[in-house]
Amino acid sequence: AQSVTQLDSHVSVSEGTPVLLRCNYSSSYSPSLFWYVQHPNKGLQLLLKYTSAATLVKGINGFEAEFKKSETSFHLTKPSAHMSDAAEYFCVVSGDTGNQFYFGTGTSLTVIP
Amino acid sequence: KAGVTQTPRYLIKTRGQQVTLSCSPISGHRSVSWYQQTPGQGLQFLFEYFSETQRNKGNFPGRFSGRQFSNSRSEMNVSTLELGDSALYLCASSRDRKNTGELFFGEGSRLTVL
């Protein structure tokens, strides 16, 4: 069975400081992993994805994530937070077939000016 | 190109009523998935349609149903509404059924059940 755990429900950082959003997953096979972002009253947008290629994945807006199989983790990072990064972030693991995906409960990122 | 369009964006119903939500995927996308988003449960998978056939179904009661038309547009229906059905219902489309693919989400239909 697949599951995703986002270790922090809320993260607060100052503008210009690094961002770390933590995600652990559980899967009975080699999954694809994703990070999505949801701004208020908007749909979800893909930030980046890992699909068994390079373990360090670069996404949009300066975000990147590293797939660590030994730790079953897929943490999202960004060197310097911007005010526009304030949003809800979801870590997602693929199901074994088709378009069934499993979402974490989300991490709300606040950026303090 | 146009994104995923969901209608209506907001609606209010009372317990016992039924509701139908509509989703128009991105042109050329054949897979449509539905998710329920609530503050307590996060995003939960409802079902996926591809080529007018339901391919996957999440753990929801039979009151939740859906269908897909030949033009890939999809509808979901919830009958005998309960207070707990209040949620943001998100539709996502993708070109195919590869689980490495990107989902493109609409802005959702926010249902309030009174």
Q: Within an 8 Å CB–CB cutoff, is residue A103 touching chain B? A: yes
**What are the structure tokens assigned to B108, written together?**
């959702």
Rg (CA), chain A: 13
| Mean pLDDT on B17-26 | 98
| Chain B positions in Cβ-Cβ contact with residue A100 (cut-off 8 Å) | 33, 45, 48, 56, 58, 99
pLDDT digits (tens, 9 = 90+) for A42-98: 889 999 999 877 889 999 999 999 999 899 999 999 999 999 999 999 999 988 776
pLDDT of residue A66: 93
Q: Which of A88, A110, A78 is nearest to B105 (CA)?
A: A88
pLDDT of residue B25: 96
pLDDT digits (tens, 9 = 90+) for A2-31: 889 999 999 999 999 999 999 999 988 888
Of B99, B101, B103, the CB nearest to A95: B99
pLDDT of residue A8: 95
Mutation for A interface: B6, B102, B103, most A CBs within 10 A: B103
Give the angle B57-A49-B106 at the CA atoms, nearest 5°.
55
**What are the structure tokens assigned to B110, written together?**
């926010």
pLDDT at B101 > cutoff 90: no
Most confident residue range from A21-30, B57-66, B93-102: B57-66
Give the model's confidence band at A100: pLDDT under 50 very low, under 70 low, under 90 confident, else very high. Answer: confident
Q: Which of A96, A94, A35, A98 is nearest to B48 (CA)?
A: A98
pLDDT of residue B106: 94
pLDDT at B1 > cutoff 70: no
Average confidence score pLDDT of chain B = 93
Top pLDDT among B102 and B112 is at B112
Most confident residue range from A15-24, B33-42, B52-61, B102-111: A15-24
Q: Would the CB atoms of A98 and B45 count as touching at under 8 Å?
A: no
